[in-house]
Chain A
Amino acid sequence: MKERNSVKFEFLSRSANEGFARAAVAVFIAQLDPTLEELGDVKTAVSEAVTNCVVHAYPETLGKIAVRVRLFDDNSAEITVRDWGVGIADVEEARAPMYTTGGDDRSGMGFTIMESFMDKLRVKSTAGRGTTVTMRRRISVRAGVR
């Protein structure tokens, strides 16, 4: 599988950037000619990952969030959302549906939704050092296009 194109961008963990991040990823992924449905799935997953950084990685501070998107020649996209925040002590527990440390403002469904809207989800985290979420999604190749 060869990489066809890639982009990397970094922004502050302000909640206003949640919309920016998902829109920027959607514009880049448009090169794979996704359906609106597929684009919506990716936007939702990116929104969940970035929101986790804003809410959990940097709870009382502002920090950096880096997003990297790689497009591959099998028409798949890999999206990495990285932060250098507090980290997750128990990733398995954090990924469980309804688990949250965010009180009743948060549903605890972020990772579950990333999992169900993307083909693959990998979460690597070190407490005190930060978290890297890598998601992959194959975009269907439509007949008669490209």
Chain B
Amino acid sequence: MKTQTELSGSRLTLFPQGELDHHAAASVVGEIERSIDSALPRECVIDMSGVTFMDSSGIAVVLKAHRRMSELSGKLRLVRVPERCRRILAAAGVERLVEIETRETVHNERT
């Protein structure tokens, strides 16, 4: 799994691409934490539109990113989250901690 990053002002946007399972999780967490630590952003946005598969391993990845951003008094937001990923995150109650936008809501905001 590859993760591209984009820094604009105090917002860091991450674009993980591929299958987010246990096999990929450790390196994705490492990449996300390194990007956050070097950019020290106010807001971290994870664009999930490139995630083609996710299981419960993704929950821990999101929670770790959330924790890192909380330590910096910043905010984590997930955007363009595929419905299947949203269901898995919702099963663990992640939306109580992290703002989650599905593809549709983002699309509607733009039009």
Identify B56's interface contact among A19, A40, A110, CB under 8 A.
Answer: A110
Interface size band for B:
10 to 19
Q: CB of A55 within 8 A of chain B?
A: yes
Give a binary string over B32-67; 1 marks a CB under 8 Å from any A CB, 0 the rest: 000000000000000000000111110110011000
Of B6-14, B15-23, B73-81, B102-110, the stretch lying at the interface with chain A is B15-23
Are B91 and A15 in contact (CB-based, < 8 A)? no
Are A48 and B56 in contact (CB-based, < 8 A)? yes
Identify A113's interface contact among B21, B25, B64, B91, CB under 8 A.
Answer: B91
Residues on B lying within 8 angstroms of A by beta carbon are 19, 21-23, 25-26, 53-57, 59-60, 63-64, 84, 88, 91-92
The 10 A-B residue pairs with the shortest CB-CB distance in the complex, in nearest-first order: A107-B59, A15-B23, A109-B56, A47-B55, A51-B22, A107-B60, A109-B92, A107-B56, A18-B23, A18-B21
21 pairs, CB–CB < 8 Å, chain A vs chain B: A15-B23, A16-B23, A19-B21, A40-B84, A43-B53, A44-B53, A44-B84, A44-B88, A47-B55, A48-B56, A55-B22, A97-B91, A98-B92, A106-B57, A107-B59, A107-B60, A109-B59, A112-B91, A113-B55, A113-B56, A116-B91
Residues on A lying within 8 angstroms of B by beta carbon are 15-16, 18-19, 22, 40, 43-44, 47-48, 51, 54-55, 97-98, 104-107, 109-110, 112-113, 116
